[in-house]
Structure 1
């Protein structure tokens, strides 16, 4: 399946990064094998996405950003650097 076909699982109108990741898992290449070796399964990924979305489907191009998932599970390194909160690892004195 393609990412475009995967979006029907969630009844979405637009392709999202989640669709791309599921499509990657469905092919038999090096990336897919690495993800599977790390324990990622299509069934588990679909279940996790459904749990995070709580039944919400993507009907606009900007709706995914409105779900605000990225700040919940990642750090915005650009924002941290702008605010001087990013440790300058390169050239750091001991």
Structure 2
């Protein structure tokens, strides 16, 4: 890889990191270009992982080889969290089971 390609790759990763961080504020997003390829991108949930969230498949830490696959995994995690919270909130209302 030439110096120019390396700089372009680093700039692209920085932009992807910025977009992921803005899109998923409940997660700490990290990029480590020196890590093994399968662990280059990492997201850590900023809120405590409750037993109920873990039961439905929410993970505290997610690692992926690239930004698009991390974004996909995070979207799935956000859906799981949203669905669990919505289900839990519905059961709190009087007259609902």
TM-score normalized by the length of structure 2: 0.28
TM-score normalized by the length of structure 1: 0.28
Higher relative contact order (CA 8 A, sep 6+): 1
